[in-house]
Amino acid sequence: MGSLLNVDYNDELTRLRVHEIVKYFQRLGIPLKLAKISNDVIADSFYIHYRTPILKEEPTEGEALWHLFVKTYIATEVYQEVSRISRYNYQVSKSASVKLLRAYNSLLSRIERGSLEGWEDKKQDFRELNQNQQLRQEISSLLRFYMGSIKNIEKLRKAVTKALGDEVGKEAAELLFDIDIDPYRARLAKILESLVDTISAVQTEMEHGPLSERRGVVSGVTRIRAFSDLQRATNLSKAIYIQSRELFGYKLATKSLSIYDATLDTREKTYLLVDKSGSMFYTLYDGVAMDMTQKITWATALAVALMKRSRKSVLRFFDQMVYPPITNIKDIVKALLRVLPLGGTDISAAVHTAVRDAKQQGLHSYKLIIVTDGEDDMVHPEVLKAAKAAFREVKAILIGGSNETIESYLSTIKVNTANLESLKTALKNI
């Protein structure tokens, strides 16, 4: 049996968790001595993170080493940091389980090779193992190496939260926790960090579009903004005035009185096609800032800014394929952190999909914006003409490249340097 009192090791769900973790190891290609690691140990590695663990006083026979390993881990600051985001979070708990098992697997390998000083008998009891300082130091060292520090992730989570909201920050933290399991994520983390910095710098340009007054036409109910709004007080507010002047005065002072709204949201509705082909992950030299900015970072920052200031929006990433529609910023970040930069670009297919969506979903009042580096020699003019007929307006943003067909048929903004100034200029001209 395992080392936790609050785990039913024979439960169907527990066995399923074990199976999923083993399959996860296999999918990632991580070598693990499964013959040396029991299913109960694997279950422990998951539930240590998923729940508040309750350790047994004494380990069962043959599991003294694992018990010491777990006890040492739970006492670390690293565990406290990890558990803050892993508790009752399946994905993070599974990833943390993989990391912990890798550390334990490494310990077993060192013992097997005889490279661990002070290790004499595999059948030592828990008290003897607990007194082995060399062993305890080795465990602590392996935990630090494999579990890493979540402080950098937490720092980035806070930055994402500040720029894009708490829900997006939480999603980013969960995805970034896998960075050292999947090294490719490390590159994407850098992109996200750069993205957040960029978005934070263009907050003014992301403000809501103008609201035009529609005097005499009621469009809804809102809270009072100025004393002059009292003339549009709702029947409820009038009733409060009649029944309780004190309550009315309080609600007036706190601007919590309800009034009839007479404004119309005039923000644009946008449909975005964002190129995520392999070439978009190349850097575009910024001669002003002396920096190297990846085109996908600039493009995604533009997309986020446009979605934040649009009344309604739809985004599709594309490369050789066209990916499912995204309607919120959280899913943009999720897609960015999961995406693989593939080779080719099929702009015609992407535009064709947008035209189909416009016809099927009635998106004719939307503005279509195509963000790409233009590296596609097979753009069909007929598709671009169809887009102009299907949408209210069509614009193309060419990042660090050119495309004769696109420039001939569409209103085009060319971006030669991927910096903040070019981003602000693009936002003003879209």
Q: In this predicted model, what pLDDT tens digit does every residue of 369-421 receive, in sequence order?
A: 999 999 999 999 999 999 999 999 999 999 988 999 999 999 999 998 888 88
pTM to 2 decimal places: 0.62
The neighbouring-strand residues paired with 3 are: none
CB within 8 Å of 199: residues ≥ 6 apart: 163, 164, 206, 301, 304, 305
DSSP 8-state class, residue 318: E
- Distance between CA atoms of 396 and 370, rounded to whole angstroms? 5
| Across 109-123, 224-238, 249-263, least confident range | 109-123
- Say if residue 226 is exposed, middle or buried (CB neighbours under 10 Å; 0-12, 13-18, 19+): exposed
Identify the CA nearest to 310 among candidates 327, 293, 324.
327
Domain 268-429 superfamily per CATH: von Willebrand factor, type A domain (3.40.50.410)
Which residues of the chain are in CATH 3.40.50.410 domains?
268-429
The percent of residues in the chain predicted with pLDDT above 70, rounded, is 81
Mean pLDDT (whole number) for 271-289: 78
